[in-house]
Structure 1
Amino acid sequence: MAVTKIKPVKSTLSKALDYIQNPDKTDGKMLVSSFGCSYETADIEFEYTLSQALQKGNNLAFHLIQSFEPGEVDYETAHKIGKQLADAVTKGQHEYVLTTHIDKGHVHNHIIFCAVNFVDHHKYNSNKRSYYGIRNMSDRLCRENGLSVVVPKKGNKGKSYAEYQAEKTGTSWKGKLKIAVDALIPQVSSFEELLQRLQAAGYEIKPGKYVSCRAPGQERFTRLKTLGADYTEEAIRERIEGKRARAAKAPRADRGGVSLLIDIENSIKAAQSKGYEHWAKIHNLKQAAKTMNFLTENRIEQYTDLVSRTMEVAAESEQAADALKSVEKRLADMAVLMKHVATYQKTKTVYDAYRKAKNKERYRAEHERDIILHEAAAKALKAAGITKLPNIAAMQKEYEALQAQKEALYADYGKLKKKVREYDVIKQNIDSILQTGKQPERGKETERG
């Protein structure tokens, strides 16, 4: 399990980078890596990219923290997951420094990435949507690496990192209030009595359209309804009266595709509700008909043909995914290369003058930033095996062509993923139909035996 949070770096960028690279926390800097820059000169390279921003802003960088459950992951795996997360968030367009801290009870990654990308110099837009995207990426990477994932309970709102940590350590006001309400519901006969009991326990009650409570020492009131769907006034009253039952999800509207058949015999909903059982039977008849139509339209006559076609589609999808990853990697590599070439060219005049200067120490002090940038770019180009500077215009043209190729591949991959899901549903439905058909035969054999 990994918990993520992100915050802007508005000042002291070098201090933030120094902190996350602390050798005592990173196994002597063995767990430090970077992209698009050298971690030793990241602050200067970030500032150079920021100076080219199309829009000025207050954020110099963003600091992303990914914390793992104690004992759930080793250092190397945590660092690998951190790199995958950083690559996914920055999309090969922002310099970043990644470090893994191992000095505390839990392993955690620190990712600081530049607020401006070095491709088209647009700023990173950090908001709720982007944060949930980061959280989903982190969860996906955890699943892929066999780690647990925090799954929000049905009807509950998402928690901030601070709320999660507070609830985990037993200090969350909302967590304590939920526990208090849950404990009192079986003991009281009315909502009003519950409020009285909460008041007797030290809570301050604020009546109104939405009842709010405040514990001793709590700064702000907490509305009961913000605790989740089971904590609105109406829901609590129903829970006290024993009338509250979780509402079943309404069936999804038919979108024309084929849906999975419902296992009515083993369905708890069907056992509890005759109405649902009736709906499920009709649903199954419709989906069985759609399944057979699909087989006819795609000229699939044998079960082996269906299995073979399903495997073929899955293989095509995997090939498309590999092709997409390859193009994305090439784009990221090219973006970094173009950045270093451009930096090298822009700072070459200053560096040449530095080499010819009689008083090198004084000249370096006066032009330190450009000299450091030039040396960092030269080092990166040498590491990439570049002996002759490529043409920036030609690289830009290739980059644009790759972007177009990426978009086309992404569209194809999306279609193939949809096709894979469709074939999986068809195969599962056929398996269910065949299994259902076999069950009576087994029963007859048992009777004959």
Structure 2
Amino acid sequence: MGSGIIAKIGHIRDGSRSRSGATNINGSLVYIMNKEKCDMKLTAISEGQVIREINYVMNDLKTVDGLYIGCKQISDINDSVAEMMQVKEFYGKTGGRVAMHLIISLNAEESGIENAGNLMLLADDMMSELFPEHQAVYAVHTNTDNLHVHILINSVGLDGKKIHMDNTYIALKLHPTINKFARRYGFTPNAEWERELEAEKLSIVDRKIKLRELIDLAIEQSTDVDMFVQVLKEGGNAVNVGKYVSIKTPDMSKAMRTYNLGSNYTLDAIKERIADRLEPFEASEVKNHVAEITGREVVSYTPNVIKKYKDMTDKEKKEAIHMLKLGRNPWLTKIHGNYAMRQASEEMARLALVHEIITTYSTTNSPEEAKKEIVERKKELGEEIKTVKKLLSKYKPQIELYKEMQVLMKRAYLYEHANLVEYKPEYERYQELEKRLEEGYGKTIAEVAEYADDLNNQILYAQAQVNELSNQYKAIISFQGRGNEEERNDEINLFTAIGHSEAKNEAFLYNLLKTRQVYLTSKDNKECYIRVLTLPAVINGRNSVATTVTVMSKAGTELEEFSSEEMTAKEFNQKIKDIRKNYGIRSCVVNDNENAAKNELNKEARKKSR
């Protein structure tokens, strides 16, 4: 009998061997799905038997030419690279580790072809438990003495979260999960993994929380790294400082390197925090990147004149931030009246105001130049947002102390001033945290509160600017879509044009609830257009949107319709792919109204006839 099931992990990176992330993922998929490696060693077993075995163990598992190849969160296995890259591009996470390559192998004694189906099930169950939001392709290879399955996992999930696979996660999550499913399907579990797990007294979450607290306390009492190490050792902890810092508490079976705790806990960060702990807070400023568009008397979605954040009075800041927290934009004029009146008003204002946007952002009055300038300003805002978020991360230990004090404040007050003795523990904890802020960082709770609120408000202010610049960009696109430009250079893919994922993300993250109706046309098909209606919705108790997509004939007859409310996200995306395939739509243009869409179809038809 062998030592049990084993696993190996590799990472696929963007830029390795001077190749893109997509190229490297594709190379791994070609290897995984190689027919020669997936072919059975036992030639007496026919392809038909393999297919029947697959169908027997799990009807949902897909086969490719009768081979043991499956996938998760992928609608078309032959288009898996494009689907994975689409998720990465949507969340802006195309660099670094682009995929994880996991290999799970069985003992030679358990490597008969009859176990291939169960090994696929093990891979499928492991993905469902550990990485339910991540796309994956897996294949059982039968060309060696040890039956093994290759699993290629997208590092970015459908929820935008990226896999962070450190040694602790492997020991406390990955290995136990593989062992659990090994038992379920009759394979020998890895005994060494179980011995390591039994030796660990704390969960990975508890260990990280405890180590962060220990490090924060030691930093607050230290003037240099030597003193920091001494404080930790006096607490009974084993500390090693070399290229990295590793710490082991008495209830940990092995040490953990502190860089696993986050960017504030690397050796360089610890040194910087010790040196700067009594320094004043570092200032930051989000600048105003939105052009001042003036001279209108009707409702539009272009910006009002607004002061720079640093130039606002306290009252003006509060009013602007209050609007942002309500999900409203301080550049937007409040719209009164019914939907028809709003549409009419926007129609009247659009052309004149779009002209002003273009002349403001372009020195040559070029729509393309104006769009490029808006994109550059959005990039600048993105960098400023990153700077503010870095400061929030840098000062997170102080801010976390302040947040805990906020929770305790009322009860501590009631103990001190109303003699409610049941709140004595909260009062004592509040006093302890206040002392830590003052002695460890030289800050009062009022200073931390003001700084934290200002940083968060700056992010709101910047995100509102990003939203407004996006609206201006879309305004120019709409202007071009009305035939005011001879050439159309604003074609986008169907998923982006429908905009459901973006609207859902904005609703969840920023409480920006969209009401949007647009009409999509494509030069690839001049016989139909697509109506997209997006409305606010509450799904599973969270703010979201519902999008209805209707394919219309050129004459205005409904050809097909579906809604995101009636199906899962995966099914909705598949429906969009079906439209793209069935109607041959590779790219499309967004039009504000039905007449504009029909005019676009007729214009292209006239071009074609000429």
Question: Under a length normalisation based on structure 1, what TM-score does the superposition of the two structures give?
Answer: 0.36
Q: Which has the higher strand share?
A: 2
**Which structure has the higher relative contact order (CA within 8 Å, separation 6+)?**
1
